[in-house]
Amino acid sequence: MRATAIAQPNIALIKYWGKRDLERNLPAVGSISITLRDLYTKVAVDLVPQSRSDTLLVNGAEAPSMLARISACLDRVLGEQRPRAAVSSTCNFPIAAGLASSASAFAATTVAAAAAARRAYTTAELARLAGAASGSAARSLIGGFAELANLGDTIEVRPLRDLESWPLEVVVAITESGPKSTSSTTAMEISRQSSPFYDSWVNQQAHDLGIARTAIAQRDFAQLANIAEHNCLKMHSVMWASRPPTVYWNATTMRCLQTIRRLQGEGCNVFFTIDAGPQVKAVCLPGEADRVRQALAETSGVEAIMTSGLGPAARVVVQLDG
């Protein structure tokens, strides 16, 4: 039995950083994200009962370093007595470079595995399974604007607004295309254990989530811009102050922020956010993307630009028997 699913990456405007339960991969804080349209990961899961081990191809090449995490994800979705699987993933953007490739990869793997085995999970259950593999993956189960809430000893994802009713655009400036130096999983633990700012980060998150929720409900771009930039810089401050420090930025990252500040000074409705990598994501109102794209493309050191609107939830695209 086989199935293929597509999931889009999502970008957090209010960030997930830190875990309250490492083993179950439960986040220390809630988060709010937008799911993208034009970046995707497509995962095919082929259940092969006669096989003795899982296999993984990523963009056509064997990817042994990622296999253990994919196998653990399949165990959670299908149970440890499951048949082995041949998993094949294709992705149209750089992997492990701070572009949320793990979010779309684990969301698509979860959805494809459940469909291949004809398991009728609800979206809430799929989100919990995907989130156990990678926290941000749970949000890719929702299209448009999504919130991930901490709920007792589990998580819950909920839609905040659909993608048509506030069609924001995102321009991604790639400032370095290699994989990142420290995984977000590792860096989060270093932050939790050693950053003097970690506790205040966790304690202030409910406040930031509340402001962002209201801004999204009211389509108040200025308010969303203000809280998203603050939350992003606060997350990076937590990591910069950890021991050892985690600094994902490069000189071009900083130059992109200056470009965005200049555009804001000229009245352009745009704000930045940066995740666990050196890429800069510029979020803007519809109609501003060309101007933002051009300004970032002209910023010294920018290697490539990608533009995307908001996109849909992870979904099954092929389901086959035999």
Query: Which positions touch ligand DP6 (CB under 6 A)?
Result: 12, 15-17, 25, 31, 102, 134-136, 184-185, 275-276
Smallest distance, Å, CB 136 to ligand DP6?
A: 3
Q: Write the burial class of residue 66 (CB in 10 Å: 0-12 exposed, 13-18 middle, 19+ buried).
A: middle
Asked whether 143 and 34 are in contact (CB, 8 A), the reply is no
Give the full edge-to-edge strand order of the sheet including 145-151: 10-14, 31-35, 145-151, 154-161
Smallest distance, Å, CB 34 to ligand DP6?
A: 11
Q: Write the burial class of residue 62 (CB in 10 Å: 0-12 exposed, 13-18 middle, 19+ buried).
A: exposed
**Which residues are registered as beta bridge partners of 44?**
4, 88
Smallest distance, Å, CB 30 to ligand DP6?
A: 10
Helices (H), the chain: 64-78, 101-116, 123-133, 184-194, 198-218, 221-240, 251-265, 289-297
Nearest CB to ligand DP6, comparing residues 208 and 275: 275
Nearest CB to ligand DP6, comparing residues 45 and 277: 277
Smallest distance, Å, CB 212 to ligand DP6?
A: 12
**Which residues are registered as beta bridge partners of 155?**
150
Nearest CB to ligand DP6, comparing residues 15 and 192: 15
In angstroms, the CA 29 to CA 212 distance is 14
Nearest CB to ligand DP6, comparing residues 31 and 269: 31
Nearest CB to ligand DP6, comparing residues 25 and 123: 25
Smallest distance, Å, CB 181 to ligand DP6?
A: 14
Using the 8-state DSSP alphabet, how is residue 310 labeled?
Answer: B
Smallest distance, Å, CB 233 to ligand DP6?
A: 13
What spatial distance separates the first Cα and last Cα of the chain, rounded to whole Å?
Answer: 5
Nearest CB to ligand DP6, comparing residues 117 and 280: 280
Sign, CA torsion 298/300/303/309: negative
Smallest distance, Å, CB 157 to ligand DP6?
A: 12
Residue 88 parent element (H or E): strand 84-91
Nearest CB to ligand DP6, comparing residues 229 and 288: 229
Nearest CB to ligand DP6, comparing residues 22 and 320: 22
Smallest distance, Å, CB 272 to ligand DP6?
A: 14
Strand 10-14 to 31-35 pairing: antiparallel
